[in-house]
């Protein structure tokens, strides 16, 4: 793979073409916190005025938003915007506990296109119910944005092609230092870092590899009353082990980092959001960084590039009426493994 315009080889055509500029998407953001603001801003940069509504339960926030966004309908009621047919696309960027009930309500209200931030739901039973209720033609996509990072796509391409030969072992982690003191924010869920942060890495591991067995699982609680660290040993269908670790109390990480390390017949590969490195057995070394992958793409950028590519993919899925990569069914597979890990560890 050549370095120049590497991104073109790692994207589907539908993620490069600007189908999203041609369709009549009228989007609403439910929950205007950090993620709601990020997605709303990216959407409006991709296609000005695509966001026509914002819903938030905070009286103060909606009051302020009405003063700032004069061309956007701001409300505390979902029904108001949908019943008046102001929107056909909804982003759910609220706390995890509300994802199931909001998605269910939107499906019942015949909303055509729904984007739900991660994790999809609290457990796989909720997600199974949404699959049963989903109507033909409805598009539902989950916010597993790591799947849209070109570093991880490059790693999958290399491993799927057999470039590294037989895989002997995989080591992986996703870590942050977000939790530094006691909090009860997650106690009502009964689940912590594995559901909130580890879900990204579980989804990546299922996409790149094929873990079919849990060899061990354990957790540690320090600040939240639920899992603050979670470690597991999985086994791939091919028989090699996959170690998994997630933590949100690791103060070595100012920002979250995801890492996958593959030990294989022809070399070792390390991949994160920021870079991909290979040490070949013959002594040669290769390294690729963000500028190699994102030179000239995506067209706008407010945070990590994968967020913009993710939103482009969702809008293009709407325009072409095709199932998104991180669909309900993809999310169910991930949530089923999350449930099993909690059961084996005696948590959640």
> Which token pair is 209?
């590899």
**Does residue 35 belong to any structural domain of this protein?**
yes
**Does residue 123 belong to any structural domain of this protein?**
yes
Q: Are residues 118 and 216 in the same domain?
A: no
Beta-carbon contacts of residue 37 (< 8 Å; ≥ 6 apart): none
Q: Are residues 90 and 159 in the same domain?
A: no
**Does residue 205 belong to any structural domain of this protein?**
yes
Q: Are residues 128 and 171 in the same domain?
A: no
Which pLDDT value is given to residue 168? Answer: 98
**Does residue 319 belong to any structural domain of this protein?**
no
Q: Are residues 90 and 154 in the same domain?
A: no
User: Per residue, what are the HEC states of 162-219?
Assistant: CCCCCEEEEEEEEECCCCCCCCCCCCCCCCCHHHHHHHHHHHHHHHHCCEEEEEEEEE
Q: Are residues 179 and 63 in the same domain?
A: no
Residues 132 and 104: beta-carbon distance below 8 Å: no
pTM equals 0.95
Tens of pLDDT, residues 30-62: 999 999 999 999 999 999 999 999 999 888 888
Q: Are residues 17 and 103 in the same domain?
A: yes
Give the C-alpha distances (Å, rounded to integers) separating 161 from 3, 166, 229, 262, 334. Answer: 18, 11, 34, 14, 24
Q: Are residues 217 and 272 in the same domain?
A: yes
From the number of C-beta atoms within 10 Å of its C-beta (0-12, 13-18, 19+), residue 119 rates as: buried
Which pLDDT value is given to residue 1? Answer: 54
Q: What is the CATH number of the domain that holds 43?
A: 3.40.50.720
Which pLDDT value is given to residue 103? Answer: 97
Query: For the stretch 143-163, what's the b/e string if a residue is b when 16 or more beta carbons lie within 10 angstroms of its beta carbon?
Result: bbbbbbbbbbbbbbebbeeee
* Ranges of residues in the chain whose predicted pLDDT is under 70: 1-4
Which pLDDT value is given to residue 86? Answer: 81
Q: Are residues 253 and 154 in the same domain?
A: yes
Q: Are residues 226 and 329 in the same domain?
A: yes
In the chain, how many domains are there? Answer: 2
Beta-carbon contacts of residue 302 (< 8 Å; ≥ 6 apart): 38, 41, 42, 45, 308
Which pLDDT value is given to residue 111? Answer: 95
**Backbone dihedral angles phi then psi of residue 173, each to the nearest 5 degrees:** -155, 160
Residues 259 and 172: beta-carbon distance below 8 Å: yes
Containing domain of residue 103, as a range?
A: 12-143
Residue ending a domain, among 143, 167, 186, is 143
**Does residue 128 belong to any structural domain of this protein?**
yes
What is the rounded end-to-end Cα distance, in angstroms, of the chain?
43
**Does residue 202 belong to any structural domain of this protein?**
yes
Beta-carbon contacts of residue 144 (< 8 Å; ≥ 6 apart): 118, 199, 200, 203, 204, 326, 330, 331, 334
Q: Are residues 53 and 182 in the same domain?
A: no
């Amino acid at each position: 793979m050549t370095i120049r315009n590497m991104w073109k080889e790692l994207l589907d055509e539908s993620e490069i073409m600007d189908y999203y500029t041609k369709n009549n998407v009228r989007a609403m953001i439910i929950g205007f916190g950090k993620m709601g603001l990020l997605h709303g801003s990216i959407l409006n940069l991709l296609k000005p005025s695509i966001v026509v509504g914002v819903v938030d339960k905070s009286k103060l926030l909606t009051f302020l938003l009405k003063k700032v966004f004069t061309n956007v309908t701001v409300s505390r009621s979902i029904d108001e915007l949908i019943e008046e047919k102001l929107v056909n696309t909804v982003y759910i960027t609220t706390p995890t506990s509300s994802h199931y009930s909001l998605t269910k309500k939107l499906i019942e209200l015949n909303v055509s296109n729904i984007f739900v931030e991660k994790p999809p739901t609290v457990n796989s039973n909720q997600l199974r119910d949404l699959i049963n209720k989903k109507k033909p033609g409805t598009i539902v996509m989950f916010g597993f944005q790591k799947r849209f990072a070109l570093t991880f796509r490059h790693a999958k391409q290399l491993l799927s092609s057999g470039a590294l030969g037989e895989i002997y072992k995989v080591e992986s982690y996703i870590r942050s230092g977000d939790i530094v003191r006691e909090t009860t924010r997650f106690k009502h869920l009964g689940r912590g870092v594995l559901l909130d942060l580890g879900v990204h890495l579980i989804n990546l591991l299922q996409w790149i590899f094929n873990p079919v067995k849990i060899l061990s699982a354990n957790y540690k609680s320090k600040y939240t009353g639920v899992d603050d660290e979670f470690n597991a040993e999985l086994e791939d269908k091919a028989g090699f082990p996959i170690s998994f670790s997630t933590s949100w109390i690791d103060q070595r990480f100012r920002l979250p980092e995801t890492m996958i390390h593959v030990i294989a017949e022809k070399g070792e590969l390390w991949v994160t959001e920021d870079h991909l490195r290979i040490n070949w057995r013959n002594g040669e070394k290769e390294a690729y960084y963000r500028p190699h992958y994102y030179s000239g793409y995506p067209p706008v950028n407010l945070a990590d590039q994968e967020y913009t590519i993710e939103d482009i993919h969702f809008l293009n899925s709407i325009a072409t009426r095709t199932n998104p990569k991180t669909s309900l069914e993809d999310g169910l597979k991930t949530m089923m493994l999350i449930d099993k890990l909690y059961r084996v560890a005696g948590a959640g």
